[in-house]
Amino acid sequence: MPTFKTLKGFKDLLPEESFIWESLASTARETFDLYGFSMIQTPILEPSDLFTQSIGTTTDIIEKEMYTFKDRDKSKISLRPEGTASVVRAYLEHPTLSQQPYTKLYYIGPMFRHERPQAGRLRQFHQIGAESIGEINPNRDIEMLALLVHLFEQWNIAGLTLEINSLGCPVCRPPYRQQLVDFLTQAIHALCEDCVRRLQTNPLRILDCKKEGCRAHIGKAPASRDFLCLECDIHFKAVEEGLHRLNIPYVVNRHLVRGIDYYTKTAFELTTTALGAQNAVAAGGRYDSLIQTLGGPQVHAIGFAIGLERVAKLINPETIQPNPLMLFMAPLGERAHMLLFPMLYAFRRNKVKSELGDRNMNLKRQLKQADHFKARYVLIIGDDELGSGYAVLRNMVTREQQKIPLVTLVESTIAKIVQKADRPE
């Protein structure tokens, strides 16, 4: 057993997986750029109050999942449990962001929540998120949803369901909430232990309960959709209309709720059945009051966050492979090694991905190594080649071999392998 291990819920990303992540991020950056989103990088440590005031003091995230410490000056600081609060903080802190008529930002980075690890759930996990700040226009909602769907298309991930709902606003949500509490209180005898507790803490969440007994009553429960004020109703209909016009498939989930308090109006989730219990790969919604809550002006916004671990699990690793090694050089003996050693760096400076074999290994072993690296070509030099003045260049796929003059080794080799490699497959 090693002396040290990663903390529970924390994970090393080994090269193979890391490569997939980097590829996902790269595709995401391109797609965000198409939609006019710019990257922002905020610190992973923030004042604890930033999160407690935005996410909601009664949510589990705040109550028991935040990594909170006392700094040396006794102030409370926390590892960020999500990204939106930090982006809004940056928006309000830097006039260069908030003085624009509209601001579209995205981020990629680690988040921290102290939960029991489970399939698709870690203590340090990673989100790709986007925030669209400045308008209440439903076209902004549609743009976000189109971007989200487009992203997953770019990643070649299919089989997802886009679920949307409207959570209402400060005008229509309180009366709806009361209706729901009244309805559920009548049926309190049939609710499970958790739901009885949720009646106090987060009654909307009961709509999401998985237990049979609860579900039976939930079906008849009032839905927020039916209690929207005129403004929220018009907004939601406009969002649906836009999705239709863009041919984006979706379903209205009347019982879709969010675990974070700041969401208003449009809320959505992208779900899959391929990940076990944690079925949401992305989620988000509108937050029209958060910026005010955090001390800013009345500015409307909408955002989403994608769980990178969950996305990575949906990717077939076969479809994302690093570049193969272009050239493996096999020196047989000391003199060959002396010749090839500087060549290795000459090839690399000419953008040829290359490795140099061990001069003490026989040719068979070195060819095996070249295989291990998936090398396309092997350059062989031993005493015979040094004597004749020609190296042997072996194509590892076709097994063809040709002679390369030693005096122009680098140029001649590049001419041969680049020419072949550039042909479409």
Partner RNA sequence: GUGAGUGUAGCUCAAUCGGCAGAGCACUGGACUGUGGCUCCAGGGGUUGAGGGUUCAAUCCCCUUCACUCACCCCA
At which residue do the structure tokens 């209909």 appear?
Answer: 237
User: Toward RNA, which CB reaches closer, 301 or 306?
Assistant: 306
Nearest to 350 by CA among 423, 424, 416: 416
Q: Per rule CB under 7 A, is residue 306 in the interface with RNA?
A: yes
Rounded alpha-carbon distances, angstroms, from residue 356 to 101, 195, 384? 56, 65, 19
Residue 185 touches RNA, criterion: CB under 7 A: no
Among 65, 135, 231, 233, binds RNA (CB under 7 A): 65
Residue 156 CB neighbours (<10 A): 12
**What 3-state class would DSSP assign to 155?**
coil
Among 338, 363, 415, 418, binds RNA (CB under 7 A): 363
Distance separating alpha carbons of residues 342 and 239, to the nearest angstrom: 62
CB of 395 to RNA, least distance (A): 7
Tokens 């005129």 label which residue? 230
Does 163 participate in binding RNA (rule CB under 7 A)?
no
- How would you classify residue 157: left for phi > 0, otherwise alpha for psi between -120 and 50, otherwise beta? beta
Q: Closer CB to RNA, residue 120 or residue 134?
A: 120
CB of 222 to RNA, least distance (A): 20
Residue closer to RNA by CB (options 98, 359) is 359
* Per CB under 7 A, 258 contacts RNA: yes
Decide if residue 351 touches RNA (CB under 7 A).
Answer: no
Candidates 162, 309, 312, 320; binder of RNA (CB under 7 A) is 309
Candidate segments 96-104, 236-244, 272-280, 413-421, binder of RNA by CB under 7 A: 272-280
CA distance 417 to 414: 5
Q: Return the C-alpha torsion angle 192, 196, 199, 204, nearest 10.
A: -10
Residue with Cβ nearer RNA (143 or 269): 269
Q: Does residue 277 touch RNA according to CB under 7 A?
A: yes
In the complex, minimum distance from the CB of residue 349 to RNA, in angstroms, rounded to a whole number: 26
- CA 17, CA 309: separation in Å to the nearest integer? 10
**Radius of gyration of the chain measured on its C-alpha atoms:** 29
Name which position in 74, 189, 364, 423 contacts RNA (CB under 7 A): 364
Structure tokens at 157: 């991930």
Per-residue DSSP letter, 210: -
Least separation, in Å, of the C-beta of 272 and RNA?
10
**Chain Cα centroid distance, residue 1:** 32
List the Cα angle 302/303/306 in 5-degree steps: 160
Query: Distance between CA 380 and CA 363 in Å, rounded?
Result: 8
Candidates 341, 372, 405, 421; binder of RNA (CB under 7 A) is 372
Min CB(96)–RNA separation in Å = 28
Q: Is 105 exposed, middle or buried (0-12, 13-18, 19+ CB in 10 A)?
A: buried
Question: Does the footprint of RNA cover residue 115 (CB under 7 A)?
Answer: yes
Closest separation between CB of residue 84 and RNA, Å?
9
Q: Given the rule CB under 7 A, which of 30-38, 158-166, 305-313, 409-417 is the region that contacts RNA?
A: 305-313
Nearest approach in angstroms of CB 319 to RNA is 20
Q: Single out the residue of 216, 225, 226, 222 nearest to residue 203, CA to CA.
A: 222
The nearest distance, CB 245 to RNA, in angstroms, is 26
Residue 359 touching RNA (CB under 7 A): no
CA distance 178 to 173: 9
By the 8 A CB rule, do 271 and 119 touch? no
Closer residue to RNA in complex, CB, 104/310: 310
Site string for RNA, 21-40 (x = CB under 7 A): --------------------
For the bound state, the minimum distance from the C-beta of residue 115 to RNA, rounded and expressed in Å, comes to 6
Dihedral through CA 288, CA 289, CA 294, CA 297, nearest 10? Answer: 80
61 is a site residue for RNA (CB under 7 A)? yes
Binding site for RNA (CB under 7 A): 1, 5, 8, 59-61, 65, 82, 113, 115-122, 125, 127, 194, 198, 202, 205, 209-211, 258-260, 269, 276-283, 305-307, 309-310, 332, 361-365, 367-368, 370-372, 380, 382-385, 392, 394, 396-397, 399, 401
